[in-house]
Amino acid sequence: MKRKLIAAVGAAALTATMAACGSDDSSDGGGGSADSITVWLMSGSAPDPWVEELNAAFEEEHGVEVNVEIQQWEGIQDRLTTALSEDGTVDVLELGNTQAVGYANTGGLADLSELSEEPWTESMLESAVVDDTFYSIPWYGANRVVVYDQSIWAEAGAEVPTTRDEWIEALELIDENTEAEPIYLPGQTYYVMGGFVADEGGAFAAQNGDEWEGTLNSPEVEAGLGFYGELQEFSDAPTDIDEGEPQQSTDVVPNGDVASWVGLPWEVVNATTAIEEAGGEADWGFFPVPGKTADELGHVFLGGSNLAVAERAGDQELARAWLEMATSQEWSQRFNDAMDGTVVPNRSDVTAEPAAGTFAEAMVASADVGFLPPLTPGWANVEVEPNPIKDLMTKVLNGEDFSSVAEEADTEMTTRLNRE
């Protein structure tokens, strides 16, 4: 089942110029008196049958109509900014998890603290809470795993690694014993690199009082990028591109002899489809990104989506009721089952038992060591090209001095993080 998760997994853009969305007496819509509510969901996020069954159950219980409006990720920032600054445009909305804190900070989202005691997946909560207040609820997560061609690895005599060192050893065997590219890894895949930084205890940025500052010029970032560089030496990919241009799953992997790559669930679906359409057969295996030692997996960027209630919703009471039902144990379990293991569950009481050897098994295994970028509206400014983290990676991989390049990048990061 094809599910386009990329925009939710990638850190979504969010400007800091959103109009303040203060609450007033009309924000509760009169306490559940509306005859309909409007729900914004993103294209590809939820299977149609799940949405239809959920809404039928809600409508039967509450006697109101649910109008679901499917949104596209492209341009969603501007549409959300407008909708959340107006009364009654949307009641419940889906947000990329890196968007949620920014909209909460600008007053656009309602306080959902009454749902704080539910057994939410711990690694997803950081994006839902601001100053100990819940402004959104985790809906689903997804993270990258290592995808490998089992036949090439068998030819090379390489085994699935459990540590970083074993990962390098496997790539060396593939390089020595086959004609395949051991790993496809462009020089600017910075969320993969960020996981290695998190393994070292580092981060891209940190909050200092009311301000944010870049923390790239640190031993932790240098070590994380150093390991990324070790992997990248086994790749033929340029150092000045990321995994999206060209898209690795459709433009690279199906058209070359690639032994392994780091990808998301939707990318595996697309790569498999492209290979089969060309008359081939995919022979994938999957393993979590290894950690420094065998007793802890490597950190991975945990993307995904949250659900929230607009502060200016036409009817907050009904909106909260819909969100509470949608994220209940029953409907979260149904959602997880409908997604066929392509997402990390939002609740610890949802049963997720993916089949052995599947992408889902490897993905769920890493969910507890997920990390997120700095959750601040200014993060969107960092991701605008030229991205200082990407530039840092390219320069260092091309042999420039880490400290001087990182110091320059931190100056730019700090400016962008605090820009209004």
344-399 per-position pLDDT tens digit:
999 999 988 888 999 999 998 998 898 999 988 888 889 889 999 999 999 999 99
What mean pLDDT is predicted for residues 138-158? 97
Residue bearing the bigger pLDDT, 9 or 335: 335
Residue bearing the bigger pLDDT, 30 or 190: 190
What mean pLDDT is predicted for residues 253-264? 96
Asked if pLDDT for residue 194 goes beyond 90, the answer is yes
Computed over every residue of the chain, the mean pLDDT equals 90
Nearest CA to 272 among 281, 260, 261? 281
Residue pLDDT, tens place only, 97-122: 888 888 998 899 999 999 999 999 98
pLDDT of residue 243: 96
Q: What is the arrangement of strands in the sheet containing 260-263, beginning at the earlier edge strand?
A: 260-263, 145-149, 284-287
Asked if pLDDT for residue 26 goes beyond 50, the answer is no
Extract the tokens encoding 242: 């990321």
Omega within 30 of 0 (cis) for the link into 246: yes
CATH code reported for the domain at 145-300+384-417: 3.40.190.10
The yes-or-no answer to whether 6-141+303-354 and 145-300+384-417 have a common fold is yes
Q: Are 95 and 305 in contact (CB under 8 A)?
A: yes
Residue pLDDT, tens place only, 49-93: 999 999 999 999 999 999 999 999 878 888 999 999 999 999 999
pLDDT of residue 233: 98
pLDDT bin (cut points 50, 70, 90) of residue 6 is very low
pLDDT of residue 273: 95
Asked if pLDDT for residue 286 goes beyond 90, the answer is yes
Provide the residue ranges of all domains of the chain, joining segments of one domain with +.
Answer: 6-141+303-354, 145-300+384-417
Residue bearing the bigger pLDDT, 15 or 390: 390
Nearest CA to 220 among 188, 240, 195, 185? 195
Q: Are 315 and 334 in contact (CB under 8 A)?
A: no
Residue pLDDT, tens place only, 209-251: 989 999 999 999 999 999 999 999 999 999 999 999 999 999 9
CATH T-level fold of 6-141+303-354: D-Maltodextrin-Binding Protein; domain 2 (3.40.190)
Asked if pLDDT for residue 177 goes beyond 60, the answer is yes
pLDDT bin (cut points 50, 70, 90) of residue 33 is low
pTM of the predicted structure, to 2 decimals: 0.83
